């Protein structure tokens, strides 16, 4: 077990539904410490850059539209195995396939409006933390 950092985004659908507090509680109750937090309205350019890995996917334009449709809450979570723990708490990308009790099972509407983002590897976590919180880079 190692102490890691991971990037979380509470997406526009979840912010609009007033479940920011409930989602942040899931992190805290499961041993993840919130070490940075902000509410931001992403520009098309920021959302496009953040999800650039998906540029060739058919849903890329819709994804950028959706992520800029309202404010998001971006945080850095720190704790033992933070990257995989956060992914476990989030549940599968498609909320219909997410395990009961996961954030997406409880709060997501669809595979596209799926409540949260979480870094999928330690390497990507470092890149994503730097993207939103350059002052935290070490």
Active site residue 54: no
Does 114 engage in binding with ligand ATP (CB under 6 A)?
yes
Partner from Mg ion, ligand ATP, none contacting 96, C-beta within 5 to 8 A by type: none
Query: Site map for Mg ion, 72-111, x if CB under 5 A?
Result: ----------------------------------------
Q: Which of 35, 36, 37, 63 binds ligand ATP (CB under 6 A)?
A: 63
Main-chain dihedrals φ then ψ at residue 34, nearest 5 degrees: -85, 110
Question: Considering beta carbons, is residue 35 or 111 the nearer one to ligand ATP?
Answer: 111
* 72-80: strand order across its sheet: 33-40, 72-80, 3-10, 116-118
How far apart (Å, rounded) are the C-alpha atoms in residues 8 and 55?
A: 21
For the chain, count helices (H), then strands (E). 7, 4
């Amino acid at each position: 077990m190692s102490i890691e950092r991971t990037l979380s985004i509470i997406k526009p659908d979840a912010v609009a539904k007033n479940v920011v507090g409930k989602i942040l509680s899931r992190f805290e109750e499961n041993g993840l410490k919130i070490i940075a937090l902000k509410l931001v309205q992403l520009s098309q350019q920021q959302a496009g850059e953040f999800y650039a890995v998906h540029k060739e996917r058919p849903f890329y334009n819709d994804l950028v539209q959706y992520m800029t449709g309202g404010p998001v809450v971006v945080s850095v979570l720190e704790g033992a195995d933070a990257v995989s723990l956060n992914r476990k708490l989030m549940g599968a990308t498609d909320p219909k396939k997410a395990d009961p009790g996961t954030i997406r099972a409880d709060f997501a509407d669809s595979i596209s409006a799926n409540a949260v983002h979480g870094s999928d590897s330690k390497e990507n976590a470092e890149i994503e933390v730097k993207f939103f919180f350059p002052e935290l880079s070490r």
